Amino acid sequence: MSSSIKTVGFIGTGLMGLPMAKNILSKKFKLNVWNRTPDKTLELQKKGAKVFKDIKDLVQNSKVIVSMLANDDVCKAILIKKIQPYLQKGQIVIDMSSTTQNTALEIGKALKKKKAFFLDAPVSGGTIGAEKGTLAIMAGGDKKIFNNVMPLFKSMGTAIYVGKTGCGQVAKLANQTIVGI
């Protein structure tokens, strides 16, 4: 594990997020969690995660924040409206949700105002890949930040750097298109 990343915040413990968060916890990261439906965090709490009732507290106690949310609107509502006001310079936000490239760019721009870093890193592999820690992760953003969080990515699957912010979403869309053919 990277010595610079010890505590990870995780937002969104649904069908994909819960097993992803379990894998992070199993790799000896300290895990902070928040979910709109608090009952969905109980299993992680039993395994040693710290559950926050207020998202502000999660942000203030996590160097890196990972989100796995339902859609573009939820991502913008949580990452821009609820998280961005509390971010500090140098914090890292990794959105692993599947959104549009425009949403990723909008979130990246909003977080940059706080001098925080943003990676859009959607995944492929479904719930089975999330459970087994074998997700394909396509990440866009600052390459140095990508390299810095690689131990975190490895806890969930195999990550590939695909370019600047927004490129993760484009790569995911291309992957899904090819798989669907």
Q: What is the pLDDT of residue 180?
A: 85
- Of residues 2 and 16, which shows the higher confidence score? 16
- Which amino acid, 67? S
Among candidate residues 50, 143, 154, 172, the one labeled active-site is 172
Q: Is residue 2 part of a domain?
A: no
Q: Over the stretch 84-137, which tens digit does the pLDDT of each residue have?
A: 999 999 999 999 999 999 999 999 999 999 999 999 999 999 999 999 999 999
| Full residue range of the structural domain in which residue 166 is found | 7-180
Q: What string of DSSP letters covers 10-76? A: EE--STTHHHHHHHHHHTT-EEEEE-SSGGGGHHHHHTTPEE-SSHHHHHHT-SEEEE--SSHHHHI
Residue 128 lies in a domain: yes
Asked, for residue 124, whether it belongs to a domain, the answer is yes
Give mean pLDDT, residues 157-181. 95
In a domain, 144, yes or no: yes
Domain harbouring 114, CATH code: 3.40.50.720
Q: pLDDT by residue (tens digit) across 26-82? A: 999 999 999 999 999 999 999 999 999 999 999 999 999 999 999 999 999 999 999
More confident site: 4 or 83: 83
On whether residue 113 sits in a domain, the answer given is yes
pLDDT of residue 1: 40
Beta strands in 63-112 (DSSP E): 64-67, 92-95
Nearest to residue 45, comparing CAs of 61, 53, 33?
Answer: 33
Q: Would 156 be classed as within a structural domain?
A: yes
Query: Total structural domains in the chain?
Result: 1
> Has 172 been annotated as catalytic?
yes
**1 in a domain, yes or no?**
no
Residues 15, 84, 164, CA angle at the centre, nearest 5°?
75
Confidence label for 2 from pLDDT (cuts 50, 70 and 90): very low
Q: CA–CA separation, 141 vs 24, rounded Å?
A: 21
In a domain, 134, yes or no: yes
